[in-house]
Amino acid sequence: MTSVLIADDQELVRSGVRLIVDSEPDLETVGEAESGVAAVEQARRLRPDVVLMDLKMPELGGIEATGRIVGAVPGTRVVILTTFDRSELVYDALVAGASGFLLKDLPSRQLVAGVRAVARGEELLAPSITRRLIAEFTRTGHRPPPPGYDLLTEREAEVLILVARGRSNAEIAAELYLSVQTVKTHVARMLGKLGLRDRVQAVVLAYECGLVRPGE
């Protein structure tokens, strides 16, 4: 059972999302939060698998609340669920630690599919969208790779680059002549050494550090 916390300042939205989530046999709403502060408090107390977070929240914005939740509850993944699709907001949310981004007007089946995907540690943004967003905001200068980058094996570094280019595990396996399970192992070790939560954060890091450049 995947536990979900819904954070939105509109009760009607929370009720609607809860109805969708609770209609699925493998998903369960464990709490609702009407502000960013309440979202952080409930995430710390309930430790849900997934938080559906609105960007425009009172008391504490969704992006800042996301950062606090990610820092305080490592096992919880945050998905931004909003009516705003401005690229800079999406990028800021990803940098803050969000594992994905969904618009509120999407079909219910896509919402539940997104929750399941994030709970499994998969990407929620389409690779092409992720690359476009990161490329747009990393054209001016790059920060050095984190200390953990030096700990990567040659194969793990190679996998990082392919993940950043939007390749799926199956595509990486075919390109490197490895089994999918072996690729999963490399991805897990790479994320662990870099202190990253998921593949989306690996994409952000690779672009910010200049390991992958726009158009590659």
Q: Kindly state whether residues 107 and 67 are assigned to the same domain.
A: yes
Q: Kindly state whether residues 146 and 112 are assigned to the same domain.
A: no
Q: Kindly state whether residues 23 and 116 are assigned to the same domain.
A: yes
Q: Kindly state whether residues 13 and 103 are assigned to the same domain.
A: yes
Do 87 and 136 form a contact (C-beta atoms < 8 A)? yes
Check residue 206 and give its pLDDT: 86
Residue where one domain finishes, among candidates 102, 125, 148: 125
pLDDT of 117 > 80? The answer is yes
Higher local confidence (pLDDT), 48 or 105: 48
The residue-averaged pLDDT of 174-189 equals 93
- Which pair of structure tokens corresponds to residue 89? 């907001």
Residue where one domain finishes, among candidates 98, 125, 152: 125
What's 169's domain CATH number? 1.10.10.10
Q: Kindly state whether residues 33 and 99 are assigned to the same domain.
A: yes
How confident is the model over 2-55, as pLDDT tens digits? 999 999 999 999 999 999 999 999 999 999 999 999 999 999 999 999 999 998
pLDDT of 136 > 80? The answer is no
The residue-averaged pLDDT of 177-185 equals 93
The residue-averaged pLDDT of 172-177 equals 94
**Whole-number Å distance between alpha carbons of 131 and 104:** 22
Helix, strand or coil, per DSSP, at residue 25? coil
The residue-averaged pLDDT of 100-113 equals 86
Q: Kindly state whether residues 66 and 40 are assigned to the same domain.
A: yes
Residue where one domain finishes, among candidates 125, 158, 191: 125
Tell me how crowded residue 23 is: count the other CB atoms within 10 A of its CB.
Answer: 10
